[in-house]
Structure 1
Amino acid sequence: MFIGTIFLNVIIPILILIMIGAVLQRKFSFNLRAISNLITYCLMPAAVFINLYETEIDVQVLLEIIGYLIVFSLLLIAVTILLGKLLKLDKGESAIFKNSISLINSGNYGIPVSQLLFQANPLGISIQIIVMVFQNILTYTYGLYNLISATKSGLEILKSLLKMPIIHAMLLGALLNWLHVPIPGPIYAPISHLSDAFLAIALILLGAQLAQIELQTIVNRTIILSSVGRLIIGPAVSLLLIFLFGIDGVVAQSLFIASSFPTSRNSSTLALEYDICPDLAAQTVLFSTILSAITVTFVVYLSTVLFV
């Protein structure tokens, strides 16, 4: 598959939906929190449930994926700590810098990309869902710790995680899959429709969010290095681990692609909520998302050369 074909068939559809979201937001000023709640509490859990319910994942493969994700995240965290010290960032900038590289937009960017890439192979989408759940856990533990370690207890963080609908959807979908429990048509159909709606609405929301970010100071040292860390160092570390772990096939392809997505919008949301360099966080999300049109295309192409 040529790079141009990947860009045309995978990245362009995503960019179009993001642009639609940005234009609509400029014109109508949507209540983004309401749309975000719709995705978080309805559409995303439905997509997670359907994909895990319909896909068979070998336990050995699952353990391999979890082991890879733990090592991958630890290595990225180590890299960000080292780079943060070398750059001599202040405490707030350092927290944003670490989160911008370690936390990946695996939800409303990663899953739509995987749905387009792995239409014929649900395993690829299911792996991305596992990555997304892991990233959410990392966000509300390590990411949150970076920002507010002095004000939030471990128990409060755990309670926040247990309230996340995608955790319940993941467990229920995996359990019903494992037990081979049939779901009646009148129940399955609306869940499936909600799942189908996730891709478009998630990308439109991402575009609407990006439309609100100011552009004036988007190019500075911290933002550029954060984006390089997220979009280049991240996939490089992933590729090294995939070879070291001996992972191949669709699993290797999916994990490699999952490492290439831009900075998580949650890193910006948390920074805004706790008022820790929110402008820097938001601009990093925007800059890395724009650059990802090029870098993700290249990573997808490389994954087809190396693992298919």
Structure 2
Amino acid sequence: MMYLSMIFFQIVAPILVLMAVGVFLQRKFTFNLKTMSQLITYCFMPAAVFVSIYETSVNKEVLGQITIFIVLFIGSQMLLSSLLAKVMGLNRLEGAVFKNSVVLINSGNYGIPVAQMIFVTQPIGVAIQVILVIFQNMTTYTYGLYNLISSTKSGMAIVRDFLKMPIVHALILGAMLNMLNVPIPQMIRIPLDYIAGGFVAVALLILGMQLSQIQVRTMFNRLIIVSCFTRLVLGPAVALGIIYMLGLDGVVAQSLLIASAFPTSRNSSSLALEYDIESDTAAQTVLFSTVVSCITVTFVIYAATMLFPI
């Protein structure tokens, strides 16, 4: 019960409050959601990802273990979601949103706060979450973006649209400057930090704006329920198997298992809105998985501490 109340009031509740503010603002002022989504995609997202990648530093051995786990875990989620999409007979648009809802995880504004609460005396636990954020960003704007674009386009059109995304440039530039240890002038760094700092709030407000036009009863459909079950229940089960297979233990095992249980990333909804592909369904999935996760994540945290004691 203690974990449940901590997670809900310190992580989930603030997220829901921001989305509720977005609902109120949209109903009062009726913003152009397409324009608001472009503000996220072309301004806030690139800045947030660039700063995250530029600032991250981690031990090479731990990075190697995490990389192997992530490749196996994300690969398994891609295969599982593709299989389920075929079994359910989803069309290309629905299938793209469904696969993204399973594979793309909210490791940022949900995962890092959880890690900070749990691993107060184990900084490596938080560092692992930061690494996962970077990998999730890369997955979002490669696999996730390809899913959506390929559902409506093919061939070189996919490549051209992908290369136009500023987030791709931010990923590459941030990694290069990090590796070369290149300092950023304060006149550039300060505005970058301001924009990056506003990303979570603006993204959640826009998600709330999307949700303001959605009927709650439509959330209870097969696609959303299966997505939620796959992301929050099957995901951690698969992760546990991979952890045992790799022989991981202690803080690394705890952190990775807990990270596998986080809800669907809000970025899956932002991208769906940007490309106008089942954006309502994507937003509903984010909301549903976020609310349900306040229960499921609690149980996974408990299981992680019992199975992999420090």
TM-score, normalising length from structure 2? 0.79
Query: Can you list the C-alpha shifts for 1:39-66, whole angstroms capped at 9, x where unaligned?
Result: 2222222222222222213445445444
Q: Shift of the alpha carbon at 1:182?
A: 2.1
AA aligned opposite 1:152? S
1:137: which partner in 2? 142
What is the CA–CA distance in structure 2 between the aligned matches of 1:29 and 1:217, rounded to whole Å?
21
> Cα–Cα, structure 1 residues 307 and 95, in superposed 2: closer, same or farther, change >3 Å?
farther
Q: Check conservation: 1:100, 1:285, Cα contact below 8 A.
A: no
Letter in 2 for 1:170: L
The 3-state SS of whatever aligns with 1:111 is helix
Contact kept in structure 2, 1:262 and 1:292, CA below 8 Å: yes
Once the two structures are superposed, the pairs formed by residues 153-172 of structure 1 within 5 Å of their partners are 153=155, 155-172=156-173
* Amino acid in structure 2 at the alignment position of 1:157: I
Give the Cα–Cα distance (whole angstroms) in 1 for the partners of residues 169 and 62 of structure 2: 21
- 1:276-295 equivalences under 5 Å are 280-281=281-282, 283-295=284-296
Residues 184-263 of structure 1 aligned to structure 2 (within 5 Å)? 184-247=185-248, 252-253=253-254, 255-263=256-264
Q: Which letter maps to 1:137?
A: T
Give deviations 1:217-247, integer Å, cap 9, x for gaps: 3223333222211221122212322332344
Cα separation, partners in 2 of 1:174 and 1:90, compared to 1, 3 Å: closer
Please say if 1:102 is aligned against 2:102: yes
Q: Deviations over 1:167-199 (max 9, x none)?
A: 222222222222222222222211111121122
CA deviation profile, 1:72-105 (whole Å, cap 9, x unmatched): 2332233334444555x35458725752553325
Q: Tell me how far 1:17 sits from its aligned partner.
A: 1.3
Instruction: Report the CA distance shift for 1:26/1:296 in structure 2 as closer, same or farther (over 3 A).
Output: farther
**Cα distance, 1:201 vs. partner?**
1.4
CA shift at 1:127, angstroms? 2.7
Bigger drift between 131-140 and 268-277 goes to 268-277
Q: Which amino acid aligns with 2:18?
A: L
Q: How many percent of aligned residue pairs carry the same amino acid?
A: 43
- Paired with 2:276 and 2:33, the residues of 1 have a C-alpha distance of 19
**Residue segments in structure 1 that go unaligned for 5+ positions in a row:** none
**2:37 matched to which residue of 1?**
36
Q: Secondary structure at the match of 1:57?
A: coil
For 2:9 and 2:31, how far apart are their aligned partners in 1?
A: 29
Change (3 A) 1:277 1:72: same
Cα RMSD of the aligned pairs, angstroms, is 3.3
Task: Give the AA of the match of 2:102.
Answer: S
1:188/1:282 CA distance change after superposition, 3 Å: closer
Of 104, 109, 112 in structure 2, the residue corresponding to residue 112 of structure 1 is 109
Contact 2:23/2:209, CA 8 A, preserved across alignment: yes
Match for 1:140: what amino acid?
A: L
| Amino acid in structure 2 at the alignment position of 1:138 | Y
How many equivalent pairs are there?
Answer: 300
Q: Report the secondary structure of 1:228's partner residue.
A: helix
Distance in structure 1 (CA, Å) of the matches to 2:282 and 2:10: 30
**Aligned mate of 1:128, from 129, 133, 136:** 133
Shift in Å, 1:36? 2.0
